Amino acid sequence: MFPPSQGYSLDVEAISGICGSVSIACWVVVFSPQIIENFRRSSAEGLSIEFIIIWLLGDFANIIGAVLQKVLPTMIILAIYYTLADVVLLAQCFYYRGFTLRDPKPEPPTSTSNGNGDSPATERTALLNGNGNGNSSSPHPTPRDADQHRSQSVSSLGERFHTLGEHFSPATPLHPAPKSAEPPRPRPRPLWKTIVFNAVAVLVVVAAGVGGYFLSPASNQQDSVPDPAEQDDILTFSTWGQVFGYLCAVLYLGSRVPQLLLNYRRKSTEGLNALFFLFACIGNLTYVFSIFAFEPVCRGGKHGCKPGEASSIYGRYILVNLSWLLGSLGTLFLDMGVFAQFFMYRKDDEDDRGRRLDDEE
């Protein structure tokens, strides 16, 4: 039997719990859009491998700092989950690119001319013609032409050995590359469909987070009297916990820089899923709100605080969680920079897709 309906008041503790639950829901699904995007494209070209590696190191520091600082067990479990998801993304990068720790440099536009208005020389034309094309100035080879033929043949043989060696290189992708220079890309959705899909996905995840809070036992403990002893545990400083917490913040902040630079060099965000960064933004924002929404418990009870006691407790609470606040707020602003790149390069990406579709047709 359900209890009789009654008014529900949202106090500071409830707001913190709801924001924390929404943050958890976002972080649970944050990696899924990008993992699916890489799988659909059979490529991880849009993702900076340095971004994933630094983020993975930050998650390791997050686990250690969370354990030493004695944060909630849920946050420790989530930190472990983030690490496993990072490993999946990293495995995809290695599978599609090969075992390399560097992001590929953007390839310059290929030219179909060799500078003289002729078609580019190939291995076959180099062996059959003197200058790489069929318009030789002399029908009979000269000694100089013979030397050029020999040098080009040796160069061609060296290229064959180099190509053979690449198959044994750790930088060679495990996934066979497609025959074309560009990996196959799925047809993009219209803009309005993308907006509707992303909005529905966000609403579903946020609703799941809110519903998860109201279904949890924490929502039924509003009328319980907080224990100051439990608050003392939350406010206890752990030196090593703080060290790893700030290390985690630095790594999280530094992880976005390679992705921003890769997008800038490519002048494109193609291969990135916007939901990946959208869920990260919402997760960080609600996580920050869940920390700020804290009601100090004074020794004399909720309504028996001495002058300045509540502010002192709140200030110490913020200091304990400052590293996690800085990491979340910093990555939130950097992720907004990635969103700005989505809008900046969207027109170029659409033009590139249109040209590729025209070529395929």
Could you report the per-residue pLDDT of 23-32, keeping only the tens digit for each? 999 999 999 9
User: Is residue 272 a part of any domain in this protein?
Assistant: yes
Q: How far apart are CA 118 and CA 346, in angstroms?
A: 35
pLDDT at position 54 is 95
Q: How far apart are CA 104 and CA 254, in angstroms?
A: 19
Name the burial class of residue 282, with classes exposed (0-12), middle (13-18) and buried (19+) by CB atoms within 10 angstroms of its CB: buried
Percentage of residues in the chain having pLDDT higher than 70 = 65
What's the chain's average pLDDT? 76
Instruction: Look at 8-12, 49-53, 145-149, 278-282 and tell me which has the smallest mean pLDDT.
Output: 145-149
User: Is residue 94 a part of any domain in this protein?
Assistant: yes
* Residue 20 structure tokens: 């924390």
Q: How far apart are CA 150 and CA 168, in angstroms?
A: 28
**Tens of pLDDT, residues 332-356:** 999 999 989 998 988 765 656 555 5
**Tens of pLDDT, residues 298-310:** 776 555 677 888 8
**Tens of pLDDT, residues 221-274:** 655 656 666 677 778 888 888 899 999 999 999 999 999 999 999 999 999 999
CA 270-272-278 angle, to 5 degrees, is 130
Q: Identify the domain containing residue 88 by its residue range.
A: 17-100+185-215+227-360
The residue among 293 and 112 whose pLDDT is bigger is 293
CB 185 within 8 A of CB 2: no
CB neighbours of 90 closer than 8 A, spacing ≥ 6? 49, 52, 53, 56
Secondary structure percentages of the chain, helix, strand, coil, to 5 = 65, 0, 35
User: Is residue 192 a part of any domain in this protein?
Assistant: yes
Local confidence band at 136 (pLDDT 50, 70, 90 cut-offs): very low
Q: How far apart are CA 55 and CA 59, in angstroms?
A: 6
User: Is residue 155 a part of any domain in this protein?
Assistant: no
Percentage of residues in the chain having pLDDT higher than 90 = 35
User: Is residue 334 a part of any domain in this protein?
Assistant: yes
Q: How far apart are CA 182 and CA 323, in angstroms?
A: 42
Domain count, the chain: 1
C-alpha distances out from residue 242 to 185, 187, 237, 319, Å: 44, 47, 7, 10
User: Is residue 170 a part of any domain in this protein?
Assistant: no
Q: How far apart are CA 202 and CA 213, in angstroms?
A: 17
User: Is residue 313 a part of any domain in this protein?
Assistant: yes
**Tens of pLDDT, residues 56-69:** 999 999 899 888 88
User: Is residue 282 a part of any domain in this protein?
Assistant: yes
